[in-house]
Structure 1
Amino acid sequence: MEKKIKVIILLLIVLVVAGIATHLFLSPSTVESQESKNMTDMINRSVEVPASVGSVVATSPPMTTVLYMIAPDKLKAVNFEWTDDELKYVPSQYANYPNVGGWYGTQDGSYEEFIATEPDVIIESIDEGGDGDASTVEERQNKFGTIPVIAVKDTTNIEKIGESILFMGEVVGAEDNANKLNDFNNKYLDIVHDKASKLSDSDKKTVYYAQGDDGLQTNPSHSTHGQLIDLVGGVNVADAAGQGNTTNGVQVSMEQVISWNPDIIITTDPEFYASVYSDSNWGKINAVKNHEVYLSPQSPFKWFDRPVGANMIIGVPWTAKVIYPDQYKDIDMVGATKEFYSNFYHMDLSDNDAKQLLLDSGLKESNL
């Protein structure tokens, strides 16, 4: 009997020691994956999320863009298709995210495809006010079941984007990268706020934002799509269209653009840019006569617009250099481009690579 008791005690000791060893040597990520924490999202919902988020998807391109910048290894899917030219600026390990669509204009999201990516959390964009989107967020949550949905204020206003960037950094455990992105944005916002405030009316240049392959769609002042013109102190000629803040833009005539006769033309359309200098109608406009037409760099995201979001952060100094090169001589555009691509697009550019990217946009070498 005494022998049996000793054997039992010995077995108990072995089990206890094994349990302690398992706990001690279990990797931190494994322990954390079994834990959760409560977060308050940006419409004050309490959401239970994993203590350590390892994977994430977003329901719209602007949110996905931020996640790609600050936590590309945790991003499981995108809402768009990259072109071959854009993929030249995407590291191979990030080139094959599945496209799951989303709910932002095309409204082509698939709940099944989102769920199949097995994300720890899903980021849902809400308008700045937020109240009108609470029901949509709850609908998403119901559809996604146990996968937590976190509401984040939209990132379409470049001057208010910081709060959302920092919040998403907290959600996915990428606070350092989020802080870097926010600091980069604030640096150039501070510069343009200062210089734009000192422009006299006589110093201000008129600008036309040409959209579409014919250049005859545009967005007026105060539109999110043309906000960089307003930000740096340019005068958006299409404000005379009287359309207010519009998402889809407005159609204008060639005669209207000729009458506006802008000093500067900015476009995001390569086809329009390729043809504008050989078109006799556009040749009547000062911007074309003076070779002041500029194409937003395209890859891996457009710098000026579409999507409207964190990709436009590098567009702030670019637009400033485009419209007011003399006032922004102190900005090293080659250096800024290299810094942004390295830190947020995960692609190291040489001086020549960055320089060519800028020259291809129409910037003069003397203005880089």
Structure 2
Amino acid sequence: MLRRRALLQALAGGAGAGLLAPWARPARGEGQPAAQPAAQPAQPIQAESPPASLLQHFGPPLAAAPRRVVAAGPPAAVLVAALAPAQLLGWPMPLPDAARALLASGLARLPTIGRLAGRGSTLGTEGLLALRPELIVDVGSTDDYYRSQAQRLAQQTGIPYVLVDGSLPHSAQQLREVGQLLGVAQRAAQLAQYADQALAQAQQLRQRLQAQPPRFYLARGADGLETGWRGSINSQLLEYLGAHNVAAPPASQPGRPGRQGGGTPRVPLEQLLQWNPQLIVTQQPGLAEQLRQQSQWRSVQAVRQGLVLQIPHLPFGWVDGPPGINRLIGLRWLSLLLQHWDGATALDAAALRGRIEPQARAFYQLFYGCAAGVALPPGALP
């Protein structure tokens, strides 16, 4: 393992001299191409008093820190895995071997048990009870639908259920509060410090982008024609950085920010041409190169100007997939990559590889227990 000092140096590195010190789920109009209106300037996110608590408790109270925890969905699984890997009973989603290779051995061996959250639930009540969990943790939206689901399941099973606000700006508080709940407050403080720094770095970029925010399109799905509506959790990271999501839902179909997969419609290519984004980002493996090669995409400004970014997706996504604390390394990378954004110059992600690789390795080691020196597979680095 890296020595603690080397690890902390790697985590802090790559953000410029002024940034090296500590910085002060599923949710429930076509037309002729037209000139794309200028993006609205990114407004500074006003400092707010943090919520008194991000946690909502259902069912019986916990008598002690739980030893057996079920994660209701992928964002919760990543959070619990980072904080208290020995307490996580399994993964709610399948993990490929390439992802498991970047995890601590105990996490890599965990079975896939299915998910509880949302309409895509694959873990039934009988299977849940067979796991003998002492706590269920769910991270994401805390709206009426998810509160009622948590209340119902806690009543049916007698298992304590904690619903956590999964908003990106609250990442550090998520770590601290859930870490306290799981009895790993010291570990949580270390991870929360990283989150605080990444969020502060992102806000410095947001200030710089105010005059000329990038107009971006999040390309999802095999053909890139699935996206995330403006305000959805899927596009939250880029919007937090100050970028302008061109995908606004039609007035007749208002979007509702949701959980993983929420607010992710399919759009016709004609609509994309009308939006004409300056920047395209995708986490779909290999999709960036595919879009660069397809003639029908070459009319899009981002493709013509070489502004199509392939986002790492292993062991978990850097922008989405899931929309959890795994996004913190994505904040670090995009804060570096976009710091000289001018809307015309191609973004050379390869040129930053020497700066971001040690940061990514240190992040994987700190958050996921990845072994030092492990070969990083394609998809783990930009």
Work out whether the TM-score is over 0.5: yes
| Corresponding residue of 1:267 | 282
Give the TM-score, by structure 2 length: 0.73
User: Is the radius of gyration larger for structure 1 or structure 2?
Assistant: 1
Check whether the contact 1:204–1:235 (CA below 8 A) recurs between aligned residues.
yes
Which ranges in structure 2 are unaligned for 5 or more consecutive residues? 1-52
**2:357 aligned with 1:347, yes or no?**
no
Q: Deviations over 1:306-355 (max 9, x none)?
A: 211111121112233344456999x9433431221111011145498499
Query: Quick one: structure 1 residues 91 and 161, their matched pair in 2 at CA, closer, same or farther if it must change by over 3 Å?
Result: closer
Which ranges in structure 1 are unaligned for 5 or more consecutive residues? 1-39, 362-368
| Corresponding residue of 1:159 | 169
Aligned with 2:215 (options 206, 210, 219): 206
**2:69 aligned with 1:56, yes or no?**
yes
| Corresponding residue of 2:319 | 304
Residue 139 of structure 1 aligns to a residue in which SS? Answer: helix
Query: 1 CA distance for matches of 2:171 and 2:374?
Result: 29
Query: 2 CA distance for matches of 1:228 and 1:249?
Result: 15
Query: 2 CA distance for matches of 1:215 and 1:89?
Result: 27
Query: 1 CA distance for matches of 2:148 and 2:307?
Result: 47
Quote how far apart the aligned CAs of 1:47 are.
3.8
Query: Quick one: structure 1 residues 206 and 133, their matched pair in 2 at CA, closer, same or farther if it must change by over 3 Å?
Result: closer
Check whether the contact 1:55–1:75 (CA below 8 A) recurs between aligned residues.
yes
| Corresponding residue of 2:95 | 82
| Corresponding residue of 2:240 | 231
CA RMSD of the aligned region, Å?
3.0
| Corresponding residue of 1:29 | none
Given residue 200 of structure 2, which amino acid in structure 1 is its aligned partner? Answer: D
Aligned length: 314
Query: Quick one: structure 1 residues 235 and 122, their matched pair in 2 at CA, closer, same or farther if it must change by over 3 Å?
Result: closer
Instruction: Out of 289-298 and 71-80, give the one that drifted further.
Output: 289-298
Query: Quick one: structure 1 residues 234 and 241, their matched pair in 2 at CA, closer, same or farther if it must change by over 3 Å?
Result: farther
Q: Deviations over 1:196-219 (max 9, x none)?
A: 124343x32221111111111112
| Corresponding residue of 1:181 | 191
Quote how far apart the aligned CAs of 1:65 are.
1.1
More contact order relative to length (CA 8 Å, sep ≥ 6): 2
Residue 218 of structure 1 aligns to a residue in which SS? Answer: coil
User: Which of the pair is proportionally richer in helix?
Assistant: 1
Matches within 5 A, 1:1-368: 42-43=55-56, 47-101=60-114, 102-125=116-139, 127-128=141-142, 133-145=146-158, 148-155=159-166, 157-201=167-211, 203-239=212-248, 241=250, 243-246=254-257, 247-325=262-340, 332-350=355-373, 353=376, 357-358=380-381, 361=382
Q: Deviations over 1:87-130 (max 9, x none)?
A: 2322333223222222223022222222222223222457446x
Check whether the contact 2:210–2:242 (CA below 8 A) recurs between aligned residues.
no
Given residue 66 of structure 1, which amino acid in structure 2 is its aligned partner? Answer: L
Percent same amino acid among aligned pairs?
A: 23
Given residue 347 of structure 1, which amino acid in structure 2 is its aligned partner? Answer: C
Check whether the contact 1:140–1:149 (CA below 8 A) recurs between aligned residues.
no
Query: 2 CA distance for matches of 1:259 and 1:323?
Result: 24
Give the TM-score, by structure 1 length: 0.75
Residue 196 of structure 2 aligns to a residue in which SS? Answer: helix
Check whether the contact 1:207–1:237 (CA below 8 A) recurs between aligned residues.
yes
